[in-house]
Structure 1
Amino acid sequence: MNPSRPPSLDAMLGLVASDMNAVNQVILARMQSEIPLIPELAGHLIAGGGKRMRPMLTLASARLLDYTGSRHHKLAAAVEFIHTATLLHDDVVDGSGMRRGRRTANIIWGNPASVLVGDFLFSRSFELMVEEGSLKVLRILSNASAVIAEGEVNQLTAQRRIDLGEDRYLEIIGAKTAALFAAACRIAAVVAERDETAELALDSYGRNLGIAFQLVDDAIDYASDGATMGKDAGDDFRDGKVTLPVILAYARGSESEKAFWREAIAGHRVSDEDLAHATQLLRDSGAIADTMARARLYGQRAIDAIGGFHASAAKAAMVEAVEFAVARAY
């Protein structure tokens, strides 16, 4: 990688551009319905400027394995539909008003429509998997879907729990974020008919990248503005989400600081001044810096996981994608 420029997804985008065009055609075709609200609402989110990170990982992983077929196009679209469905449902659960810098579907069309269109996209994803015809792929992606839902429920029951431990937090993000990253990469090895060693290497790459990605998100919820995040800065704080920065700051805090965190996470400190105070505590305690350091650790694990594959443009792009994920906060 050129050290004079910051890491980006450009190499990966260039690598998979033609494949991604095919995937986008599948996505556009399969989100259609005779019920106009479905493509209208789905299109709002799908066309909303997302990076398509997860399907891109499926395509890049296939390139890493020198796969030259097209079986992975429908599967990459299925991965994006699973992700989009979970976003629609998440925004309802969280009562979110912004995503990727735009109003969320639930704010525009209401919660019932968002939930039902999410269900439609889940169903479409399973149609695509079945059409592809691999039971192994179906098993990997259906398992990931179940694990994501478990992670969301786990997070829901952990909400406003200041005593949430680091282990349970990592369990939550491992399920709700990293599971789909892992599955998106792993299915490429199945399609390319590679052995389990390749499958597990790609699974590990995706899983560790997913954890790093989420840790960075949790850090920059406090460390940046809404324009950087594409959502309202401080959403996690106001929602009472106990993320790693908060866990670390609470553990290191004085009695008065611990009391502040207990009140804040319980929902009694939600003003802009409270958010500013929380952010200052996170900085002073080193919690944000340490969360970023942890993200870099998981990022390095992701890079190491694909170390055994031969040098190629795909491998270089996948390494840079990890570096990009971790560098987003700077």
Structure 2
Amino acid sequence: MATEEGGFQSSVDQILEESKGRVVDDVSGELESSLELNSEGYEGLTEYAEEAISEVESTENPYDIVGLSKDLKENVTDLVAYGELFSQKLGFLSEFQEELVDEEDIEYAEQYLQENEHLEDTRIDAEDIATVKALRDGRLYDELMSMGDEREWDTATIGDSLLFDNVNDVADAVIADYYFRGGKGLRSTMGQITQYGFEDSVDYQTVMMGAMAETFHSSTLVQDDLMDGDTERRGRDSANMIMDHVFGETGEDIPITTGNVMESWTNDLNVHEQLDIPQKSKETFVRVQDVVNRGQNEDILMGHDLDSLDIDDYKHMSMGKTGFLYGGILKMVAEHSMENLDYTEEERQEVNELLGDYTANFNFAFQSSDDLIEVLGGETGKSDSDIPNRKRTATVLTTDRAMQLQDEDINGMPAEEYFRAFFSTDPENDPTENIEAAEGVEFPENIYDNQIRRIMEEKEDIHRAQLEEWATEASKAAENMQEVRGSEDGLNAGAANLLSKAAEAMNQRTH
């Protein structure tokens, strides 16, 4: 690792020398990708995916799709993502394995391999399984957090760490930790379901496209947490909190570039000549990145005047949120399958129109269910920053649309008037401070946020009705995809059912 003595100037000189060498090497190598993809050796994973999907394709329970998704992410997508991306991108991986992967991890991995016969047909070995387990267990996260226990780190001292030579190692560690924290993996799973529905099979290309979608999604979470000021993600500190813990104020902007690096990793996969997917699929992925980033801009500036906003404004904004990735992965995989099956241009257009209808309504259901969870509670690990940040969510807009003048006050202000005032001002210019000043009383912290939450909770039935409508429309589009090329050659009934259940699960997850 980095030199332990020599002081600040020595560290700077070393970094400058390494940077010069990196630039020279990159230019002389014509900036070629460092990834070496190899589709051989993953047949066991794709067979596992096909079997897992077939076992639940006739399910009537929307929660089954979530269980299937978590299973496929853990046993298929994560393993390919590790083997083809993270194991090659993490420069400190050998040190991580030497220092933080222990004998118990190896024993677990050997047992895991014995119990999962599908892995016999893959390139995944015990060391890979043990490393992925250590990442999931948070061993990398623990090392990051231990760095800030006694002091703030900087360019001169970071080389004293157990694993890392420089700030980019720390950023890469955050990237890997975010990815392997878990999540449902529904984006990658819906891609596998789509190919299975068209071809009765799942291949390496589709699994890789799913890994790209999951990695890009993680990159957006890193930046989203910074923008929203969220302190937790999936049970651990958010990236902005990690960087603050390690570097103090000097590291507060690093999550921005960390998310950018993670996004660049997905593009490294997308353009790789050995990832043999159609040009239309590659173009779709680039388009998804563009739309999602622009959608975040719209979300940030969603407006302050509720009179000028309606649910159509929300739908337009939400189509650029990360839910749009669902539509992206479905279109990428559908293009792959339609090329394999020699679909005509007219048939492609019909499929794409139905996919557009499905993913738009699925996205509205997904985004609004996220909004509703923040009000009602539900999934663990979800942030609760929407109300303090005055976000104009679906729950806000449906509450505003439905609320009539109420016979109650909030500390001297009519409830409806206060509701509008709350969402029409910046958190830094809170109208409630004026109420406190006028009455000469200091109210408990978050009392106004909690009162707003109560008003929104009272309209729960209206929020659910809107959410259910979107989920129902998505399900109809999924069913209609069976009719492309006739019922025998379109999307099969099992896949259509699973896509329908995925949409219904967006409604069920709020209960």
User: Within 1, Cα distance between the matches of 2:376 and 2:287?
Assistant: 34
| More deviation, 265-274/133-142 | 265-274
Match for residue 272 of structure 1? 446
Q: How does 1:57-136 map to 2 (within 5 A)?
A: 57-66=190-199, 67-110=201-244, 111-131=252-272, 132=275, 134-136=278-280
SS of the residue 1:96 aligns to = coil
Tell me if 1:260 matches 2:418: yes
User: Within 2, Cα distance between the matches of 1:87 and 1:30?
Assistant: 22
| More deviation, 23-32/68-77 | 23-32
Tell me if 1:158 matches 2:302: yes
In the alignment, which of 314, 332, 340 is matched to residue 169 of structure 1? 314
- Give the helix-richer structure, 1 or 2: 1
Whether the 8 Å CA contact 1:245–1:282 is kept in 2: the answer is yes
Match for residue 181 of structure 1? 326
- The TM-score normalised by the length of structure 2 is 0.58
User: Within 2, Cα distance between the matches of 1:84 and 1:113?
Assistant: 15
Match for residue 508 of structure 2? 327
User: Within 2, Cα distance between the matches of 1:230 and 1:12?
Assistant: 18
Whether the 8 Å CA contact 1:97–1:104 is kept in 2: the answer is yes
SS of the residue 2:387 aligns to = helix
SS of the residue 2:184 aligns to = coil
Report how far residue 92 of structure 1 moved. 1.4
* Residues 149-197 of structure 1: CA deviation (Å, up to 9, x unaligned): 1111111112544343222111111111332111111111111125333
Q: How does 1:134-153 map to 2 (within 5 A)?
A: 134-153=278-297
Label 1:37 to 1:155 Cα distance change in 2 as closer, same or farther (>3 A).
same
Q: How does 1:42-61 map to 2 (within 5 A)?
A: 42-61=175-194
User: Within 2, Cα distance between the matches of 1:178 and 1:4?
Assistant: 22
Whether the 8 Å CA contact 2:232–2:238 is kept in 1: the answer is yes
User: Within 2, Cα distance between the matches of 1:100 and 1:18?
Assistant: 19
Report how far residue 124 of structure 1 moved. 1.2
Label 1:280 to 1:326 Cα distance change in 2 as closer, same or farther (>3 A).
same
Match for residue 9 of structure 1? 66
Label 1:249 to 1:64 Cα distance change in 2 as closer, same or farther (>3 A).
same
Letter in 2 for 1:99: R
Q: How does 1:288-303 map to 2 (within 5 A)?
A: 288-303=460-475
Label 1:13 to 1:283 Cα distance change in 2 as closer, same or farther (>3 A).
closer
Letter in 2 for 1:147: V
Whether the 8 Å CA contact 1:178–1:208 is kept in 2: the answer is no
Label 1:274 to 1:8 Cα distance change in 2 as closer, same or farther (>3 A).
farther
| More deviation, 204-213/240-249 | 204-213
Label 1:272 to 1:27 Cα distance change in 2 as closer, same or farther (>3 A).
farther
Whether the 8 Å CA contact 1:12–1:318 is kept in 2: the answer is no
Whether the 8 Å CA contact 2:375–2:457 is kept in 1: the answer is no
Label 1:135 to 1:57 Cα distance change in 2 as closer, same or farther (>3 A).
same
Gaps (5+ residues) in structure 2? Answer: 1-57, 93-167, 245-251, 407-413, 433-443, 483-490
In the alignment, which of 258, 280, 283 is matched to residue 457 of structure 2? 283
Larger RCO (CA under 8 A, 6+ residues apart): 1
Whether the 8 Å CA contact 1:182–1:203 is kept in 2: the answer is yes
Label 1:31 to 1:323 Cα distance change in 2 as closer, same or farther (>3 A).
farther
Report how far residue 276 of structure 1 moved. 2.5
Letter in 1 for 2:462: D
Match for residue 392 of structure 2? 242
Whether the 8 Å CA contact 1:160–1:241 is kept in 2: the answer is no
Give the structure with higher Rg (CA): 2
In the alignment, which of 164, 175, 199 is matched to residue 352 of structure 2? 199
User: Within 2, Cα distance between the matches of 1:16 and 1:88?
Assistant: 20
What percentage of residue pairs aligned between the two structures are identical? 18
Letter in 1 for 2:262: L
In the alignment, which of 337, 340, 362 is matched to residue 209 of structure 1? 362
Gaps (5+ residues) in structure 1? Answer: none
Label 1:178 to 1:15 Cα distance change in 2 as closer, same or farther (>3 A).
closer
User: Within 2, Cα distance between the matches of 1:106 and 1:31?
Assistant: 22
- The TM-score normalised by the length of structure 1 is 0.87
Report how far residue 31 of structure 1 moved. 4.7
SS of the residue 1:236 aligns to = coil
Report how far residue 109 of structure 1 moved. 1.1
Q: CA RMSD in A?
A: 2.6
| More deviation, 313-322/79-88 | 313-322
